Structure 1
Amino acid sequence: MNTILQLRQTYHRNLCHSVIYQKQGNKPSIADVASDLSVSLARQLMTNIQIPVSGREIPGQTAGKQFEVVTRDFLRDAFSLLNHLRPGDWQFSLEGAISQYAQYEHIARLSELIKNSPELRTSLGDYVVTPDIIVARAPVSDAAINEHGTIVTAEGQPRLTPLRADIIDKAKPILHASISCKLTLRSDRSQNARTEGLNLIRNRKGGTPHIAVVTAEPMPSRIASLALGTGDIDCVYHFALPELTAAAKSIGNEAVTDTLNELIQGNRLRDISDLPFDLAI
């Protein structure tokens, strides 16, 4: 059996092979080449990871999509190690509409109404959220519920919970987590993770899913622009937080170190290895 550390190392190897590459001038592709500080942090970060990055250019759209795939695979494999802590039939998928899940099935009807009515679209906006990574739990059959003794009967209560599959016609999986993947945080588009989070919170009928962001951004100030504040995102997770923290210390920039410490101590920034455990809560 792999340990979380071994899976994390595999995660980094896969990212260095198919997502992160070396630009001209020994500049990692996750760096903002217009910022000397960003380049310095990214270089030291990748040095600390100790895995060579790809020498071929990887188009931005391809890198972004691969970041989602590799992150999904890591979370799926790591979470499977915690099945004894959070048993269930768990599904890890990419880019699914939230209307496919129990708390949001009403969104499909709303979206159809809004699509056919410019007036409603102007008033209500867009309800459609398609998270980069979705974690969902399948409903449970009565046979599974009664595995260790009779707990429910065919005609008995409860009859409204989405977890009990046999009482619901076409039972839908339950959305457990919505995870947004932002390879870097270079543009205002990275802030749409907040909008998606607020939509998930406001438009649910049932429990709120975990709402997280995963990034490889080397600049703490840019991470802070997304991580600071509460209410719309549970937490931001960095793909290599200890390595980034060590990189910040090695370049001797007090402001950078202070920002990282503020985010970490304030429970707004964690390492990717923390995320499977947080999903088990």
Structure 2
Amino acid sequence: MDFTSKTISNFDQYEHLADIERIVRANRELASIFGVDYIIKPDIIIARVPVSDDEINAEETLLDPAQAIVKYSPLRKKEGSKPILHASISCKWTMRSDRSQNIRTEAMNLIRNRKGHTPHIVAVTAEPLPTRIASLALGTGDLDCVYHIALHELEIAVASNEDQQEMLRNLIDGKRLRDIIDLPFDLAI
């Protein structure tokens, strides 16, 4: 599959959104009510490709193709299978309130519009102020976590500012902010 197009309608959980967007674009009244930007295009995507029966049965026979079982799981490769969106990663060098709101809106759309499991939804930033990172990291769980590209260096940089240092500690201790090196391990779960 060509993953150069990051449109989420290319993935199993969101393929129905392409039909919705086509219908809305074709109807002016619906377009004026719902808008026409139904399809989210994350900065980075990680996908899981469906697995063939041969791969599933590589070690031992788990599935008999002649039996009518496990017919609906998107993990089992079949004609017309689409990849499964495993993670959506938004990248913002810095945080302003509008940028954090864009990420939150994108996250909520991923959560609300899916048919199937929710992918990992994370953000990556280089924002130097923990209080600004908090505008995105703190909240109701629309994002799994925020990752900083230089968290260790940020800890050193805010050491002389009590307010920033306290906020940074809250974000880290509250499991809302991690170092970028943690991201691959977290996505393995």
Q: TM-score, normalised by structure 2?
A: 0.93
The change in CA–CA distance for 1:222 and 1:95 in structure 2 (over 3 A counts) is: farther
Which residue identity does 2:70 align to in structure 1? P
- 1: distance between equivalents of 2:61 and 2:146? 42
More helix, by proportion: 1
Match of 2:72 among 157, 160, 173: 160
CA apart distance, 1:242: 1.1
Match of 1:259 among 167, 177, 180: 167
Mapped contact 2:46–2:87 kept (Cα < 8 A): yes
Match of 2:84 in 1: 174
Mapped contact 2:92–2:99 kept (Cα < 8 A): no
- The answer on 1:186 being equivalent to 2:96 is yes
Structure 1 segment 103-142 matched on structure 2, within 5 A: 103-125=13-35, 126-142=37-53
Q: RMSD of aligned C-alpha atoms?
A: 1.7
CA apart distance, 1:264: 0.7
State how many pairs are aligned.
187
- 1: distance between equivalents of 2:2 and 2:179? 19
The change in CA–CA distance for 1:118 and 1:189 in structure 2 (over 3 A counts) is: farther
Mapped contact 1:184–1:216 kept (Cα < 8 A): yes
The farther-off stretch of 106-115 and 93-102 is 93-102
In structure 1, stretches of 5+ residues that fail to align are 1-90
- The answer on 1:226 being equivalent to 2:139 is no
For residues 210-233 of structure 1, the C-alpha deviation after alignment (integer angstroms, 9 at most, x for no partner) is: 000000010111111111102311
Match of 1:147 among 42, 58, 76: 58
Secondary structure of 1:193's match?
Answer: helix
Q: TM-score, normalised by structure 1?
A: 0.64
**Larger C-alpha radius of gyration, 1 or 2?**
1
For residues 57-79 of structure 1, the C-alpha deviation after alignment (integer angstroms, 9 at most, x for no partner) is: xxxxxxxxxxxxxxxxxxxxxxx
Mapped contact 2:100–2:135 kept (Cα < 8 A): no
- The answer on 1:214 being equivalent to 2:124 is yes
For residues 116-166 of structure 1, the C-alpha deviation after alignment (integer angstroms, 9 at most, x for no partner) is: 12322333343210000000010000000000111112232110001110x
Mapped contact 1:215–1:239 kept (Cα < 8 A): yes
Secondary structure of 1:112's match?
Answer: helix
In structure 2, stretches of 5+ residues that fail to align are none
Secondary structure of 1:191's match?
Answer: helix
- 1: distance between equivalents of 2:102 and 2:4? 17
* Identity level (%): 58
The farther-off stretch of 149-158 and 119-128 is 119-128
The change in CA–CA distance for 1:231 and 1:201 in structure 2 (over 3 A counts) is: same
Mapped contact 2:148–2:178 kept (Cα < 8 A): yes
